[in-house]
Amino acid sequence: MADHDKHGIVLLGSKELGLAAAAIIAEVAPGLLTAFVTPYDLGDIRSSHAAIIAWGQANHVPVHTVKNSNELTSMVDALRPRVLIVVGWYRILSPDLLARVPLGAVGIHASLLPKYRGHAPLVWAIINGERETGVTLFHFSDGIDNGDVIDQEEFHIQEADDIESLLVHAKLSTVRLLSKYILKIYDGINPRRKQNDLDATYGGIRRPEDGRINWMSSSSSIYNFIRAQSMPYPGAFSVRSDGAVVRIYRSRIYERPYCGVAGVVGNSIGNSSIIACGTGAILAEHVVVSPESSCPLRHGDRLC
């Protein structure tokens, strides 16, 4: 490793993925991770804020929580890192901020760039029925996920995969890529290749309310829609005619021909309920009805 001044690596990150990144950087490049900067995200059900604080204390890495871009800029100015590593950071980094860091920022994106630049790449990949995706380690630039690629890891999306299992794949790929390249990134000698913008696709931002199921869609589309938003995400949902919110976290396609009014609950098979789709039907296997005082899903219920 080259002889550099005291300025080290600052990690911008959150969630379980950011914590995994911090752990592998500290293991592979001991002493170079000088700080972990994390957003204030306690309102997010996936927040790992307490675990990040505890990890920092146990590993003698200062953890700083910032609430906005101004606080982040001030923090970067104070820490004076040689390079930023960005994993699980959901805010735009301005060109001005990147210019303050000698080697800029290197980040992880959960797609095979230039495919699925932007928001929620794993969710969109499942919704769209993709059969493969992956993780990209890349340099930040002044566009949306369009900087030079360092390397990528590809993995298949199996029929039984959901967002939880893909997040596990993404975490393992992230750890492997950072383990392989973190010292080269710090020394400024990592490989780089430009993306082909002509191949780029983009994913838009998603909010919990975007998880409402359109029962006029096909059974395969609804199956993909449900597994793309299962735990730890809020879940795909419908509203029953009595106003109860019905969240479906796990389902499978009903393999036999089925005729029914889209969104109407049919007979039960074991602990699963048949629900008619625009074409075909699904078997809803893990259903949560709220409020808790509501009746469970029953034959004849209408969902919309």
Global pTM? 0.93
Give the pLDDT confidence score for residue 293 in this predicted structure. Answer: 86
Counting residues of the chain whose pLDDT is more than 70, the rounded percentage is 98
* Per-residue pLDDT tens digits for 232-242: 999 999 999 99
Residue ranges of the alpha helices (H) in the chain? 15-28, 49-59, 69-79, 95-99, 121-127, 163-187, 219-227
Measured CA to CA in angstroms, residue 221 lies from 66, 202, 212 at distances of 39, 20, 13
CATH fold of 208-290, please?
A: Methionyl-tRNA Fmet Formyltransferase; Chain A, domain 2 (3.10.25)
Read off the DSSP letter of residue 291: S
* Per-residue pLDDT tens digits for 83-129: 999 999 988 899 999 999 999 999 999 999 999 999 999 999 999 99
Rounded to an integer, what is the distance from CA 268 to the centroid of its chain?
33
CATH number of 9-202: 3.40.50.170
Domain residue ranges in the chain: 9-202, 208-290
Q: How many CB atoms lie within 10 A of CB 136?
A: 27
